[in-house]
Amino acid sequence: MNYKPIIIVAGEPNSVFLEIFFKCLKKNYFKSPLVIIASCELLNKQMKKLGFKFQVNLINENSLSLHKLNNERINVINVNYNFKKSFENPSQKSNKYITECFELALKIMKKNKFLKFINGPVIKKNFLKQKFLGITEYLANKTNKKEVVMLIYNKKLSVSPITTHLPLQNVHKKISKVKIINHIKLIKEFYKKTFKINPNIAITGLNPHCESNFKSSEEERIIKPAINALIKKKYKVSGPFAADTIFIKEQSKRFDVIIGMYHDQVLTPVKTLFGFEAINITLGLPFVRISPDHGPNISMLGKNLSNPISLLKALKFLDK
């Protein structure tokens, strides 16, 4: 079988991503060729510093489809990055490098259909410069997609926030009946296509206990009407549920996905339940995009102590 390559953007050069990438290669065999877009010089220096020994296969993005790739060596598409040492403090000069890596990856994804895409973490306040809430929105903009969904996936239970990296004071302004319906639609399409199931979905309220001291609450005005509209269309949805009890085992085991109104409402409990054994999948893009569910973890840079499990889960999910 001819397995399509997985394109990997290493992300922030001063992060633990290359360390966990080396660990994944060392312990596991992947059928799909892995192609990493990164500075070849940086990769070699970090490999030496951390004590890993892999041969490097330098390839050209213009002839990617002509290469008979495997994972006996690290397949690298080089992007130059000028640095003084293999580990240094993040700086603004990283932004140009990360931008070039993403733009090259997007060019490759557009040219080569059916490829799969993983990106390492970035320092959002440096790279995104408040232009985008996160990489989910950045990639949506770059691919001209208006509706995208962040799904934190684990085979036992997944979660998805209606709003992503948004200040709490703005959340109530950004939820709507249409947004909830479109959000659930993308999730159902993903589960039907990927797992051949119609997912059972729980939807939380916004307010504590789904109650409000005001005359009109978001639950009554927005969330319940969205749920009723989805039920009429034969979606398997329930709610709204109070967010402080929906993750109790007896409740959550009934569902494939729990939808929350804001980021920490659902990401905090799912990370508590599964740790790094969850992956961030972006739905709605013209390709499958996954990122490990962790940040650059600068404090661990160069220590060779970082856990590779989330990247490993991301690679195994796409390795088919």
Element of type H or E holding 186:
helix 177-195
> Average pLDDT, stretch 33-38?
94
**Could you tell me which of 221, 133, 213 has the C-alpha nearest to residue 172?**
221
Same domain, yes or no, for 226 and 314? no
Element (H, E) at 119: strand 116-119
Comparing C-alpha atoms, which of 104, 123, 259 is closest to residue 188?
259
Return the number of other C-beta atoms located less than 10 Å from residue 140's C-beta: 19
Q: Could you tell me the two tokens for 31?
A: 């059928």
Is residue 183 located within the same domain as residue 306?
Answer: no
Same domain, 170 and 319: no
The predicted-structure confidence for 268-285, as pLDDT tens digits, reads as follows 999 999 988 889 999 999
Residues 37 and 98 in one domain: yes
Residues 170 and 141 in one domain: no
Q: For the residues 45-65, what does the mean pLDDT come to?
A: 87
CA distance 17 to 121: 7
Q: For residue 2, what are the contacts with CB-CB under 8 A and spacing of at least 6?
A: none
Mean pLDDT of the chain: 89
249 and 133 fall within a common domain: no
Gyration radius (Cα) of the chain, Å: 21
Contacts of 167 (CB under 8 A, 6+ apart): none
CA distance linking residue 255 with residue 156, whole number of Å: 9
- The identity of residue 312, as a single letter, is L
Same-domain check for residues 125 and 17? yes
Cα–Cα distance, 48 to 132 (Å, whole number): 35
How far from the centroid of its chain's Cα atoms is residue 211's Cα?
32
27 plus 119 within the same structural domain: yes
- Tally of structural domains, the chain: 2
CATH number for the domain harbouring residue 206:
3.40.718.10
**Do 194 and 76 share a structural domain?**
no
Residues 29 and 104 in one domain: yes
The model's pLDDT over 239-259, given as tens digits with 9 standing for 90+, comes to: 999 999 999 988 899 999 999
Q: What is the residue whose two structure tokens read 């509706």?
A: 147
Q: Model-level pTM?
A: 0.90
* Separation of first and last alpha carbons in the chain: 10
Does 56 score more than 90 pLDDT? yes
Q: Within this chain, do residues 306 and 166 fall inside the same structural domain, yes or no? A: no
Domain hosting 99: range is 1-145+285-320
Mean pLDDT across 209-220:
82
Nearest to 275 by CA among 156, 135, 117, 118: 156
pLDDT over 70, % of the chain:
93
Q: Which has more confidence, 61 or 176? A: 176
Are 246 and 305 in a shared domain?
no
Q: What is the crossing angle of helices 177-195 and 224-232, to 10°?
A: 40
pLDDT at 91: 58
The pLDDT assigned to 170 comes to: 94
- What integer is the mean pLDDT of 295-301? 80
Model pLDDT for residues 146-203, shown as the tens digit of each residue: 899 999 999 999 999 999 988 899 999 999 999 999 999 999 999 999 999 999 999 9
233 confidence band (pLDDT: 50, 70, 90): very high
pLDDT value at position 302? 81
Model confidence at 89, in pLDDT bands (50, 70, 90)?
low
